[in-house]
């Protein structure tokens, strides 16, 4: 892309994002990569949720426990690989591994389409892999764009994911009945092939971007990240800033898990067939991702630039306090689906991209290792702890009112943590800007 083309694209994109001509190629590739990645992800996700209903909504805590154990095993393995493989090979290699896994499950679904433990295995695999693939993508973004660029660009890049996530549920809704859940896996595998190609292009662009754009991150991908397999845990425990991000993730996960349990239980009662449940989950995905894309393209970037990251971090927990209140008043499938939609729209369109900006002010090793621990182990610990809290509420016959009260408490804690993290980020961002100018 020559300079004239970059200027033309920058003008065309000006309605959605404030991008400099030198940033255009990197931003468009990032948008496209997120588009294909989340499109494939949202083909796989409704299949995961349908598999949960096969295993049994009343035993979701068992699925969440297995997911946490597997995540605990995979996080040190991820760190060990990062210490032995150059990042330029490590990043695409992860996506190759996940693509092979998809093909394995395609075979298993052909051999044992209604097996309860195959369903559980897929749930566990996808619930672990989805966090890693999203974490790796955003780590790469935080390792490419600086703290000065992120408030302008991350909302638009996140919009690529949301628009891709619109395509995923559409494909699922249209094709799940004629080709079945197993056929959807082959489509997702094709998407992962495209992601791998774009990752290679992005790595080349990062290097060019690093050399020619003074605002870009100055890190390279021509090396590994030495350290033992538990280095990510050590980095996390040594940094109050990273611990704050872990607390943010924990509260956000508690809120999401409480609503997910309510949704899964009510959907299982409302639909008797796996295909019907898959469509119900996919339809909600479609509404969520259309709404999130509109917010990201036309609202979030400008809001952050005008009011700062702190406001965008606290908005979702405040909304969720009201959503749980609505569930307590009207505990119906419609209300739970509405609350679940609100939670996911605001999390994906506001909380998540705002949170990803927080990692632009930490060192490269913390991005790839400590961030991965937060995005996977802390996330799944949040799932696990919320799942067993839900089980305790069920044993105490607390019902939906008890779950709503738990959701309100988690949302309030989340808001408090968000205020502290937003303020600390602004301080570190200011220090980063001064160092760049120096």
- Residues of the chain whose pLDDT is less than 70? 1-6, 9-10, 14-16, 53-61, 267-282, 299-302, 305, 432-438
pLDDT at 434: 64
- State how far the Cα of 299 lies from the Cα of 160, in Å rounded to an integer: 14
Are residues 297 and 350 in contact, defined by beta-carbon separation less than 8 angstroms? no
| Token digits of residue 13 | 């994109």
pLDDT at 398: 73
pLDDT at 32: 95
- State how far the Cα of 418 lies from the Cα of 252, in Å rounded to an integer: 10
Are residues 162 and 66 in contact, defined by beta-carbon separation less than 8 angstroms? no
- State how far the Cα of 50 lies from the Cα of 274, in Å rounded to an integer: 6
Count: domains in the chain: 1
The 10s digit of each residue's pLDDT in 30-71 is: 999 999 999 998 888 877 777 776 665 556 667 778 888 888
Are residues 227 and 83 in contact, defined by beta-carbon separation less than 8 angstroms? yes
pLDDT at 437: 53
Q: Which residues span the domain enclosing 402?
A: 3-437
Q: CA 121, 98, 175 angle in degrees (round to 5)?
A: 75
- State how far the Cα of 150 lies from the Cα of 237, in Å rounded to an integer: 26
pLDDT at 389: 83
- State how far the Cα of 37 lies from the Cα of 187, in Å rounded to an integer: 12
Q: What is the dihedral of CA 272, 275, 280, 285, to 10 degrees?
A: 150
For residue 145, give the CATH number of its domain.
Answer: 1.20.1250.20
Are residues 51 and 119 in contact, defined by beta-carbon separation less than 8 angstroms? yes
Place of tokens 């295993």: 55
Determine if residue 399 is left, alpha or beta; phi over 0 gives left, psi from -120 to 50 gives alpha, anything else beta: left
With helix as H, strand as E and coil as C, how does the chain read? CCHHHHHHHHHHHHHCCCCCHHHHHHHHHHHHHHHHHHHHHHHHHHHHHHHHHHHCHHHHHHHHHHHHHHHHHHHHHHHHHHHHCCHHHHHHHHHHHHHHHHHHHHHHHHHCCCCHHHHHHHHHHHHHHHHHHHHHHHHHHHCCCCCCCHHHHHHHHHHHHHHHHHHHHHHHHHHHHHHHHHHHHHHHHHHHHHHHHHHHHHHHHHHHHHHHCCCCCCCCCCCCCCCCCCHHHHHHHHCHHHHHHHHHHHHHHHHHHHHHHHHHHHHHHHCCCHHHHHHHHHHHHHHHHHHHHHHHHHHHHHHHHHHCHHHHHHHHHHHHHHHHHHHHHCCCHHHHHHHHHHHHHHHHHHHHHHHHHHHHHCCHHHHHHHHHHHHHHHHHHHHHHHHHHHHHHHHCCCHHHHHHHHHHHHHHHHHHHHHHHHHHHHHHHHHHHHHHHC
pLDDT at 413: 95
């Amino acid at each position: 892309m020559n300079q004239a083309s970059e200027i033309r694209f920058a003008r065309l994109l000006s309605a959605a994002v404030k991008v400099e001509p030198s940033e255009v190629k990197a931003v468009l590739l990032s948008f496209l990569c997120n588009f294909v990645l989340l499109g494939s992800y949202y083909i796989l996700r409704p299949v995961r949720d349908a598999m949960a209903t096969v295993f049994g909504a009343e035993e979701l805590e068992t699925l969440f426990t297995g997911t946490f154990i597997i995540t605990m095993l995979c996080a040190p393995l991820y760190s060990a690989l990062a210490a032995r493989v150059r990042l330029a090979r490590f990043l695409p290699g992860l996506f190759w591994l996940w693509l092979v896994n998809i093909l394995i499950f395609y075979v298993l679904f052909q051999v044992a389409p209604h097996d309860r433990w195959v369903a559980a295995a897929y749930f566990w695999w996808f619930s672990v892999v989805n966090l890693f693939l999203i974490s790796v993508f955003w780590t790469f973004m935080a390792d490419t764009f600086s703290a000065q660029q992120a408030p302008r660009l991350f909302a638009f890049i996140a919009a690529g994911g949301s628009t891709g996530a619109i395509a995923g549920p559409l494909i699922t809704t249209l094709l799940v009945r004629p080709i079945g859940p197993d056929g959807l896996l082959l489509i997702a595998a094709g998407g992962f092939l495209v992601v791998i190609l774009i990752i290679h292009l992005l790595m080349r662009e990062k290097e060019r971007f690093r050399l020619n754009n003074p605002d870009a991150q100055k890190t390279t991908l021509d090396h590994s990240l030495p350290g033992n397999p538990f280095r990510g845990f050590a980095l996390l425990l040594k940094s109050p800033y990273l611990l704050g991000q872990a607390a943010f993730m924990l509260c956000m996960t508690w809120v999401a898990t409480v609503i997910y349990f309510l949704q899964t239980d009510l959907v299982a009662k409302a639909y008797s067939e796996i295909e019907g449940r898959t469509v119900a989950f996919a339809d909600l995905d479609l509404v969520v991702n259309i709404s999130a894309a509109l917010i990201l393209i036309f609202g979030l970037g400008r809001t952050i630039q005008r009011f700062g990251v702190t406001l965008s971090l606290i908005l979702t927990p405040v909304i969720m306090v009201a959503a749980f209140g609505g569930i307590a008043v009207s505990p119906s499938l419609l209300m739970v689906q509405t609350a679940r939609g609100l939670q996911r729209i605001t999390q994906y369109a506001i909380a998540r991209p705002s949170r990803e900006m927080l990692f632009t002010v930490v060192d490269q090793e913390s991005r790839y290792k400590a961030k991965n621990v937060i995005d996977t182990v802390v996330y799944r610990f949040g799932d696990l702890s919320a799942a067993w809290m839900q089980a305790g509420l069920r044993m105490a016959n607390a019902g939906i009112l008890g779950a709503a009260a738990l959701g309100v408490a988690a949302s309030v804690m989340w808001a408090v943590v968000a205020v502290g993290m937003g303020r600390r980020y602004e301080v570190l961002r200011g220090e980063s800007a001064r160092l760049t100018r120096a």
